[in-house]
Structure 1
Amino acid sequence: MKAQVFRGVNQLSYEEVPIPEIGADEVLVQVRVVGLCQSDIKKICYPLYEPPRIFGHEMAGTIAAVGERVQDWQVGDRVVVLHHIPCMHCRYCLNDNFSMCEIYKTITTTAGFIPSGGGFAEYVKIPGHIVRHGGLIRIPDHVNFAQASFVEPTNCCLKAVKKAQVTPGQTVLVTGAGPIGLMLIMLVRYFGARAIATDLLPSRINKALQVGAEAAFDARSPELVKNIHACTEGFGVDTTLLAVPSDKAFFQALDCTRKGGKILFFAEFPDEVEIPLNPNILYRREIDLMGSYSSSYRVQALAADLVFNQRIDIDTLISDRYPLRELPKAVEQARNPTPDTYKILIEP
């Protein structure tokens, strides 16, 4: 089969590799669509992982083979593949910190080499633990593979919105109106709250308004804080969701979030970034700082429902599709987006 093998920083090699052999409790899936995620781009462009690996994790496809002990699944079934499933019984899982679970971190889908997701290949192997514990979701007939590939990123965004306890009537600032920021806006609206967005690109500011933001501003505007306070009767937003790894965006969040409000870090910052902060700002204003990383098993069913029943407009987020052999070109476009670049899908 063909695969894009990570051979080092900024080195993707379009290669012929063996189709993974499956065990008795495993499943082989033919990948039909895999989303290009910002985390994939970081893994490819920075020295974070030892090669060789095959990345890619926002997967939808068709079951091509099943092990002899696999129940409830058969060849030809159309499925969403979730690349991580927690153990459900460790201390982290019992506290709903599923993404901190060691099983969640170490058992993953693979197309060969060091298991690393494996979606950037024609076929991917699903370990027995993931098969047995809800890591395959059947795709309804009316849903296409491109739409289905959004279940995993929707889960991640939904986890963040749930963790921030967004409720009807609140006002939420979303910094960054790329594909993730736009999805956060949709989810904020779904839960009955008002969304305000910021971005640097005029096209993304307009896109934020199109998907439901009540207001959207240029993040570089000297009037930004004034404008956001004007939208909230001088009160400030209840919650800020940081969808860009920017220290400037964080300090804007401090200025725009009301006393007693929340700031949630959704984007991953470069490790070398340090943000100086006077702790009395948090103490006196009772600002809650929190982070949300990866997905949550708790919201898996709701994420699938939101996508499959079109409760959020997934199709409007898709801007580009590339064949697998052009993955490097897709990565380059994601790193240097055009005004119309949003979600990029890869179709092996």
Structure 2
Amino acid sequence: MKAQVFRGVKQLSYEELPVPNLEADEVLVQVRVVGLCQSDIKKILYPLYEPPRVFGHETAGIITAVGADVKKWQVGQRVAVMHHIPCMRCAYCMNDNFSMCDTYKNIVTTAGFAPSGGGFAEYVKVPGHIVENGGLIPIPDDISFEEASFVEPTNCCLKAVKKAQIAPGQTVLITGAGPIGLMFVMLVKYFGGKAIATDLLPSRIEKALEVGAEAAFDARDPDLAAKIQGLTNGMGVDVTLLAVPSDKAFFQALDCTRKGGKILFFAEFPDQVEIPINPNILYRREIDLMGSYSSSYRLQNLAADIVFNHRIDVKALISDRYPLKDLSQAVEQAIAPTADTYKILIYP
């Protein structure tokens, strides 16, 4: 099978690999489409993992083989693949911190080498723990593979929305109107909130309005805080979701978030970035700072429901489609997006 192998920082190699062998409790999925995620891009651009590996985790495809002990799944079924599932027994899982679970981190779908997602390949192997514990989601007949590939990123965004306790009537500032920021706009609106978005690209500012933002501004606008105060009766927003790794965006969030509000870090910052802050700002204004990483097993069914029942329009986020052999080109476009670049999908 063909796969894009990570051979080092900024080094992707389009190679022939053996199709993974199955154990008795495992399933093999032919990848029909896989989303290109910002986390994949970071893993390719920075020395975070030892090569060789095959990344890619927003996967949808067709089951082409099942192990001898697999009874719940058959060849030919269309599925969205969750690349990891928590153990549901450890102290982290007992506190709903599923993404901190060792099982969640270490038992991962693979196309070969150290298990790392494996979606950037023609076939991906799903370990028995994931097969048995809800990591395969049947795709309804009227849903495309493209739409199904959004279940995992929807879950990640949904986790952040739930963690920030966004409620009907609240106003939410979303910094960054790329694919993730736009999905936040859709989800905030779906849950009854009012979204305000910022970005540097005029086309993304316009796109945010198209998908449901109440207002959208250039992030460099010197009057941004005043404009947001004007939209919120002088209060500021209830919640800010940081969808870009920018210290400037964080300080804007402090200026724009009301007393008693929340600021949630969703985008991963480079490790060398440090943000100085006077702790009295948090103390006196009672601002809550929080982070949200990866997905939540508890929200998996809700994420699938939101995508499969078109409660948000994930197709509106798709801008580009690349064959697997051109993954490097897709990554370059994602790093330096054009005016019309949003979600990029890859086809093995």
Structure-2-length-normalised TM-score: 1.00
Cα distance in structure 1, aligned partners of 2:283 and 2:224: 24
Aligned to 1:48: 48
Aligned to 1:249: 249
Letter in 2 for 1:143: I
Structure-1-length-normalised TM-score: 1.00
Stretches of 4+ moved more than 2 A in 1?
Answer: none
Q: Aligned residue pairs: how many?
A: 348
Shift of 1:71: 1.4
Task: Please tell me whether residue 272 in structure 1 is matched to residue 272 in structure 2.
Answer: yes
For 1:205-259, what per-residue CA distance to the aligned partner results, in whole angstroms no more than 9, with x for missing partners? Answer: 0000000000000000111111111110111000000000000000000000000
Please list every run of 5 or more consecutive structure 1 residues that lacks an aligned counterpart in the other structure. Answer: none
Aligned to 1:313: 313
Task: Please tell me whether residue 179 in structure 1 is matched to residue 169 in structure 2.
Answer: no
Task: Please tell me whether residue 149 in structure 1 is matched to residue 146 in structure 2.
Answer: no
Shift of 1:322: 0.2
Task: Please tell me whether residue 14 in structure 1 is matched to residue 18 in structure 2.
Answer: no
SS of alignment partner, residue 238 of structure 1: strand
Cα distance in structure 2, aligned partners of 1:89 and 1:48: 28
SS of alignment partner, residue 259 of structure 2: strand
Cα distance in structure 2, aligned partners of 1:134 and 1:283: 42
Aligned to 1:71: 71
Task: Please tell me whether residue 99 in structure 1 is matched to residue 115 in structure 2.
Answer: no
Shift of 1:72: 1.2
Cα distance in structure 2, aligned partners of 1:74 and 1:312: 30
Aligned to 2:290: 290
Letter in 1 for 2:180: I
Shift of 1:91: 0.3
For 1:1-57, what per-residue CA distance to the aligned partner results, in whole angstroms no more than 9, with x for missing partners? Answer: 000000000100000000000000000000000000000000001111100000000
Shift of 1:290: 0.2
Please list every run of 5 or more consecutive structure 2 residues that lacks an aligned counterpart in the other structure. Answer: none
Cα distance in structure 2, aligned partners of 1:209 and 1:71: 47
Letter in 1 for 2:229: H
Letter in 2 for 1:129: H
SS of alignment partner, residue 79 of structure 1: strand
Shift of 1:141: 0.1
Cα distance in structure 2, aligned partners of 1:294 and 1:238: 23
Aligned to 1:194: 194
Cα distance in structure 2, aligned partners of 1:230 and 1:243: 23
Aligned to 2:131: 131
Identity, % of aligned pairs? Answer: 79
SS of alignment partner, residue 165 of structure 2: coil
CA RMSD between the two structures: 0.3
Aligned to 1:236: 236
Aligned to 2:328: 328
SS of alignment partner, residue 239 of structure 1: strand
